[in-house]
Structure 1
Amino acid sequence: MEDISVITAITHPLRRRIVDRLLLHGATQVGVLARALDAQVGSISHHLRMLQKAGVVEQVDSPDGDRRASWWQLARRSFSWSSADFESPADSLIAREAQRANVRNQLDRLQRWYRVSAQSDVEGFSTDTLAWATSEELNELQHRLTSLLDEWKAGIDRTDGEERLPVYFFAHGFPTEV
């Protein structure tokens, strides 16, 4: 179960973009983050401190040993929660709102993709299915998908000289009516 402070920290739109950027690019200098995210250095520094307080990011040494530059990396790479995890009605509400914000983020990304996909040389994909499952079987599916994605990402050799684009993948599994 995630601590509510982690959920609150990563739900903020700019902090979510910081987390995504660090996930893709690894340790990054504050100024580079600010330019990439079209934000002020002071704003990025503030949000990095909020993420650090929640244990999401950590400050690291500059690769070139320059102590004047502030470098940051993710302290962890995945987050998972359910509003049912929280006994406090206030925390449960925060967790539900964070889930809604996450779904909006996912759908916004998908809509942006469909707006530009006709001009792209790279095809995305869509998949869905219906099946019968217990709560335990649905939980097992989540763990298997997470393991598969981790294995897939670990198998990508970013040193082979091939040009790669950032890829966003999301899937949902939930009880439904037909």
Structure 2
Amino acid sequence: MEHISVIATISHPLRRRMLGHLLLHGATQVGTFARALDAQVGSISHHLRMLQRAGIVEQTDAPDGDRRASWWQLARRSFTWSTSDYDSPADALLAREAQRANVRHQLDLLQRWHRASVHSDREGFSTDSLAWATQEELSDLHARLNALLDEWRRGIDREDGRERMPVFFFAHGFPAEV
């Protein structure tokens, strides 16, 4: 179970974009964040400190050894929670709102891709399924998908000279009434 402060921290839209940038590009300098995300350096620094307090990012040495620049990297790569994890009504409300923010973020990325795909030859995919499962089986599916995605990411050789694009994958598994 995630501490509610971690969930609240990662739910902010700019911090969510910062995490995505770190996932794709690795350790990043504050000025690079500001340019890439079209934000002020002071704002980026503020949000990095909040992410650091929550144990999500950490400072790291500059690749070139320059100690004048502030570089940051992920301290962790994934977050999982359920609103049922929290006994406090206030915490459960925050967790629910974080889930809503997460879904809005996912749908925003999907909608932007659909709008751009009309003018692009880059294809994505859609997949869904419907089956009977216990809560334990649904949890097992979640764990297997995470393991598969981790294995897939590790298998990508970013040094092979092939052109790559950022790819966003999301899936939801939940009890449904049909």
- TM-score tier (shorter): over 0.9
In 2, the alpha carbon distance for the partners of 1:19 and 1:129 equals 29
Map of 1:124 onto structure 2: 124
| 3-state SS of 1:16 partner | helix
Match of 1:142 in 2: 142
Question: Deviation at 1:122?
Answer: 1.5
Aligned structure 1 segments of 4 or more residues deviating by more than 6 angstroms: none
Aligned to 1:61: 61
**C-alpha RMSD over aligned residues:** 0.6
| Distance in 2 between residues matched to 1:122 and 1:155, nearest whole Å | 21
In structure 2, distance between residues paired with 1:8 and 1:148: 27
Please state how far the C-alpha of 1:107 moved relative to its aligned partner: 0.6
Alignment-derived partner of residue 73 in structure 1: 73
Which ranges in structure 2 are unaligned for 5 or more consecutive residues?
none
Residue in structure 2 matched with residue 177 of structure 1 by the alignment: 177
Paired residue secondary structure (1:115): helix
Percent identity among equivalent residues? 76
- The number of aligned residues is 178
TM-score (norm 2): 0.99
Match of 1:152 in 2: 152
SS of equivalent residue, structure 1 residue 2:
coil
Match of 2:108 in 1: 108
In structure 1, C-alpha distance between the alignment counterparts of 2:121 and 2:166, rounded to whole Å:
14
Q: What letter matches 1:21 in structure 2?
A: H
- Report the CA distance between 1:65 and its aligned residue: 1.1
2-structure distance, mates of 1:53, 1:11: 15
Q: Residue by residue, what CA displacement relative to the aligned partner does 1:39-64 show, whole Å, maximum 9, x if unpaired?
A: 00000000000000000000001111
C-alpha separation between the residues in 2 aligned to 1:25 and 1:137? 34
> 1:121: how far off?
2.4
